[in-house]
C-alpha cells in the first residue's frame, strides 16, 4: 500500500498561516517603495540622503507647497482632468456603439471587422507614432488638448470594444431588443434606451481602466503638447526634473500630488470594476 505524498497545495490548506505569512511578506516588499516615496516628501535633502528609510523628524509640508507652486498645480490638474474625462467619455460611447453593432450581426464582414479590432491589441502603439504625428500636424491640432484626446480615444477603443462585445453577447438579453423593435423602436433608440443602461457593470470597468491609462500616459502629451500652458501632470513633473541631478525631496511631492486624485478615484470605483469583471468581462 502506497501513501500519496502531501502536495504543496494540500500543505497550504492544512496550514493556512503559511500562505498568510507569504502574502504578508510579499505585501511588505511591495510597500517598501511606497513607504520610501511618502516619507521622503517630508524630509530635507540632507535628511533624505543620510537616513533614506527612517521616519521624518517632523511633518513639514513645505515640500508640497514648493511642488504646488513649481508645477502650477491647479492648471495642470485641470488640463489632466479635461483630457481624462473627455477621453474616457469618448472611449465608452464609441466603443459601446461599435461593439453593439458587431455583437448583434453575424455576417462574415462584421466578424472580420471585430477580428481587425482584436488584431490592434497585438500591434505596439509605438509603431504608428511617426504617421500619427504627421496626421495630427496636418490637421493643425499640434499643441492642443484635442490632439491628445483624439489619440487616446483611438488607442483605447480596441480593448474597450473587446470588453463591450463580450458583455453584450453574454449578458444583454436579445429578447428585450426584439420586444423594442416590435414596439416600433429604431436601432439607435433601442441601443440607448434598452441596451446601454444594461452595460453599467462593463462601463464601470472600461471607465476605470481607461482612466488609469489616460491619467498615467506620458508619451502622447510629450509628443503633441509643446507649451507649458497645456501641460498635464506627468509632463510638468518631467519638465521640473533637473538636467544633471534630481532633488528627490522636490520630485516626490510632485508625484504624490499627481497620484493622489487617481488613488482616490480608484479606491472609490474598485468595487464597480470587480463587479464588471465578474458580470461579463470574463464570460465567453
Q: Are residues 131 and 236 in the same domain?
A: yes
Please give the Cα distance from 278 to 271 (Å, whole number): 11
Average pLDDT over residues 204-228: 91
Q: Give yes or no for residue 16 having a pLDDT over 70.
A: yes
Average pLDDT over residues 221-236: 91
Q: Give yes or no for residue 7 having a pLDDT over 80.
A: no
Domain that holds residue 268: 62-281
Average pLDDT over residues 214-218: 92
Q: Is 5 exposed, middle or buried (0-12, 13-18, 19+ CB in 10 A)?
A: exposed
CATH number at residue 172: 1.10.3720.10
Percentage of the chain beyond pLDDT 70 is 89
Residue 45 domain flag: yes
Which three-class secondary structure state does DSSP give residue 107? coil
Q: Are residues 260 and 131 in the same domain?
A: yes
User: Cell 491619467 belongs to which residue?
Assistant: 215
Q: Are residues 123 and 45 in the same domain?
A: no
Please give the Cα distance from 258 to 216 (Å, whole number): 9
CB crowding 204-216: b at 16 or more within 10 Å, else e? bbbbbbbbbbbbe
pLDDT band, residue 277 (cuts 50/70/90): low
CB of 126 closer than 8 Å to CB of 191: no
Least confident of 20-24, 202-206, 266-270: 266-270
Average pLDDT over residues 47-66: 86
What is the chain's mean pLDDT, rounded? 85
The total number of structural domains in the chain stands at: 2
pLDDT band, residue 262 (cuts 50/70/90): confident
Among 204, 203, 207, residue whose Cα is nearest residue 99? 203
- pLDDT given for residue 89 in this prediction: 96
Please give the Cα distance from 259 to 34 (Å, whole number): 12
Q: Where is pLDDT greater, at 164 or 51?
A: 164
DSSP 192: I
First to last CA, the chain: 44
Q: Are residues 132 and 235 in the same domain?
A: yes
Per-residue pLDDT tens for 93-133? 999 999 999 998 888 888 898 988 888 888 887 888 888 99
For 187, the grid coordinates are: 436601432
Average pLDDT over residues 247-271: 85
Q: Are residues 28 and 92 in the same domain?
A: no
Q: Give yes or no for residue 148 having a pLDDT over 70.
A: yes
pLDDT band, residue 213 (cuts 50/70/90): very high
- pLDDT given for residue 192 in this prediction: 92
For 160, the grid coordinates are: 474597450
Q: Give yes or no for residue 38 having a pLDDT over 50.
A: yes
Residue 10 domain flag: no
Least confident of 31-40, 184-193, 203-212, 267-276: 267-276
Average pLDDT over residues 69-95: 94
Q: Are residues 111 and 233 in the same domain?
A: yes
Residue 11 domain flag: no
Q: Are residues 55 and 144 in the same domain?
A: no
Among 123, 281, 118, 113, residue whose Cα is nearest residue 207? 281
Which three-class secondary structure state does DSSP give residue 282? coil
Amino acid at each position: 500500500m502506497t501513501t500519496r505524498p502531501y502536495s504543496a497545495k494540500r500543505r497550504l490548506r492544512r496550514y493556512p498561516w503559511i500562505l498568510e505569512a507569504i502574502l504578508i511578506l510579499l505585501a511588505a516588499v511591495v510597500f517598501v517603495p511606497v513607504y520610501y516615496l511618502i516619507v521622503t516628501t517630508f524630509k530635507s535633502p540632507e535628511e533624505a540622503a543620510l537616513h533614506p528609510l527612517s521616519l521624518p523628524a517632523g511633518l513639514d509640508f513645505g515640500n508640497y507647497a514648493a511642488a504646488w507652486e513649481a508645477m502650477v498645480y491647479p492648471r495642470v490638474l485641470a488640463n489632466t482632468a479635461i483630457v481624462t474625462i473627455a477621453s474616457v467619455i469618448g472611449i465608452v460611447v464609441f466603443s459601446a456603439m461599435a461593439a453593439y453593432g458587431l455583437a448583434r450581426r453575424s455576417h462574415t464582414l462584421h466578424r472580420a471587422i471585430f477580428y481587425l479590432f482584436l488584431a490592434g491589441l497585438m500591434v505596439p502603439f509605438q509603431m504608428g507614432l511617426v504617421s500619427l504625428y504627421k496626421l495630427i500636424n496636418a490637421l493643425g491640432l499640434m499643441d492642443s488638448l484635442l490632439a491628445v484626446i483624439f489619440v487616446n480615444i483611438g488607442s483605447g477603443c480596441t480593448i474597450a470594444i473587446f470588453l463591450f462585445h463580450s458583455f453584450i453577447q453574454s449578458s444583454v438579453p436579445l429578447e428585450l431588443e426584439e420586444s423594442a423593435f416590435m414596439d416600433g423602436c429604431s436601432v439607435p433608440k433601442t441601443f440607448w434606451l434598452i441596451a446601454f443602461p444594461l452595460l453599467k457593470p462593463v462601463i464601470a470597468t472600461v471607465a476605470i481602466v481607461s482612466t488609469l491609462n489616460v491619467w498615467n500616459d506620458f508619451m502622447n502629451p510629450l509628443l503633441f503638447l509643446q507649451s507649458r500652458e497645456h501641460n498635464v501632470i506627468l509632463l510638468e513633473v518631467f519638465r521640473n526634473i533637473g538636467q544633471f541631478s534630481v532633488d528627490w525631496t522636490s520630485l516626490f511631492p510632485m508625484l504624490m500630488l499627481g497620484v493622489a486624485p487617481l488613488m482616490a478615484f480608484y479606491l472609490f470605483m474598485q468595487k464597480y470594476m470587480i463587479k464588471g469583471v465578474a458580470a461579463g468581462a470574463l464570460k465567453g
